[in-house]
Amino acid sequence: MTRAATALGLAQPALSAQLRRIERALGGALFERGRHGVRTTALGELVLERTRVVLPAVSELQREAARFARTRRVGQRLRLGGTHGPLLGALVDRLADAAPGTTVTTCASWSERELAELLAEGRLDFALTGTCGSAPPPDPPHLVWEEIAVDPVFVMLADGHPLAAEREVDLAALADEEWACVPGDGCFADCFTAACARAGFSPRRMYETDTASCVHLVQVGRAVGLCRATFPPTAGLAIRPLAGTPLMWRHLLGRHPAGQRQDTADTVLTQAREAHAGAAARSDSYAQWLAGRRPGAADDVRRPVPPPPPAASITRGQGVG
């Protein structure tokens, strides 16, 4: 005991007192003391065996905690969530330049409700999602939602589709088509069904699958699909506006009001808007649609512009992209 106390830098009485407290906590003697020294009991052997696993883990935890504390002092952490689509990746890319000292992690989900729950529980700092028309975002009483942009919803056709050569496509002309969409629990399915009803038909078979599979089904002519106007050019696809713009999509950034500081929220919102503007500038179909609505708009969307002023806070299957 004296040699052990010396190795630990303790007085021998202090080590003996510590050992007695440990034995009381574990419910039995760990060592048998005799004239020839100290031997471990059966309980002591068990404790030593477990300790050889536990102590290195505790030491590693201490080192990781110290590293984390140092990281928190030199930079902050942002936890971003989002539904499918390229905007989440574009936002991460922009934040890497705008806030190089920030550690960014991401969480993707098909469920808007799940993202809202993660925000409300403090497990995410920001979430990218959206609604169509005037539908409210999830859980508006407890979360703050800011509008990033509003896009028309376009249709994806195979290059060889009879309507692919048209400048825009009437939704009613797609009444006999089968459709491909990605999963979701937001408002989009209901909005799409309502738009089809206004056009005089009900959608036929709907293939609900991941984005890559949706694109493949369209490319091979098995289905047509809906997408946002900023969907990137893709081989084998013709992206066309829907005549009369029967569906619009609002990109939203959500957060908890007690979460990140307002200046951080402003930075993330600005970068999200600029990420969307960059995607719009790369989309020929979006530029053509804008030009049809407002002469010169096709040129405007390709020029870098300052982000719009912050919008006022606003209190299911989905399209692709």
Encoded tokens for 205: 């078979």
Query: Per residue of the chain (321 residues), what is the pLDDT tens digit?
Result: 788 888 888 888 888 889 889 989 999 998 888 877 788 899 989 999 999 989 988 988 888 777 666 655 445 889 999 987 789 999 999 999 998 888 999 999 999 999 999 999 999 999 999 998 778 888 767 899 999 999 999 999 999 999 999 999 999 999 999 999 998 888 898 999 999 999 999 998 999 999 999 999 999 999 999 998 888 889 999 999 999 999 999 999 999 988 888 999 999 999 999 999 998 888 888 888 887 775 444 444 333 333 333 333 332 456 666
Question: For residues 287 and 211, what is the distance between their CA atoms, to the nearest angstrom?
Answer: 23
DSSP string, 27-77: TS-SEEEETTEEEE-HHHHHHHHHHHHHHHHHHHHHHHHHHHHHHHHH--E
Task: Provide the β-strand partners of residue 158.
Answer: 237
pLDDT of residue 203: 93
* DSSP H or E run through 197: helix 188-198
Burial level of 88, CB count in 10 A (0-12/13-18/19+)? buried
Closest-CA residue to 239 (of 220, 252, 221, 226): 226
Alpha carbon distance 225, 210 (integer Å): 12
- Length of the chain, in residues: 321
Q: Phi, psi (5° rounding) for residue 40? A: -75, 145
Backbone angles phi, psi at 276, to 5 degrees: -65, -45
Pairing of strands 237-241, 179-181: unpaired
Q: pTM for this structure?
A: 0.69
Q: Are 221 and 158 in contact (CB under 8 A)?
A: yes
Q: How far apart are CA 2 and CA 60, in angstroms?
A: 29
122: its two tokens = 């403090």
Contacts of 11 (CB under 8 A, 6+ apart): 5
Q: Are 99 and 91 in contact (CB under 8 A)?
A: no
Q: How far is CA 203 from the centre of its chain?
A: 30
Residue 91 confidence (pLDDT): 95
Q: Which fold has domain 77-302?
A: D-Maltodextrin-Binding Protein; domain 2 (3.40.190)
Inter-residue contact 245 to 282 (CB < 8 Å): no
Residues 126/80, Cβ–Cβ less than 8 Å: yes
The pLDDT value recorded for residue 219 is 97
217 with 223: CB under 8 angstroms? Answer: yes
* Contact of 176 with 205, CB cutoff 8 Å: no
Nearest to 273 by CA among 146, 102, 104: 146
Task: Give pLDDT, residue 237.
Answer: 96
In this structure, the number of other CB atoms found within 10 A of the CB of residue 241 comes to 22
Q: Which residues pair with 238 in a beta bridge?
A: 157
Amino acid (one-letter) located at 36: H
Q: Across the chain, where does the E strand assignment appear?
A: 31-34, 37-40, 77-82, 103-108, 126-132, 144-158, 179-181, 206-208, 224-228, 237-241, 248-255
The pLDDT assigned to 172 comes to 97
| Rg, the chain, Cα only | 29
pLDDT of residue 218: 97
* Domain locations in the chain as residue ranges: 15-71, 77-302
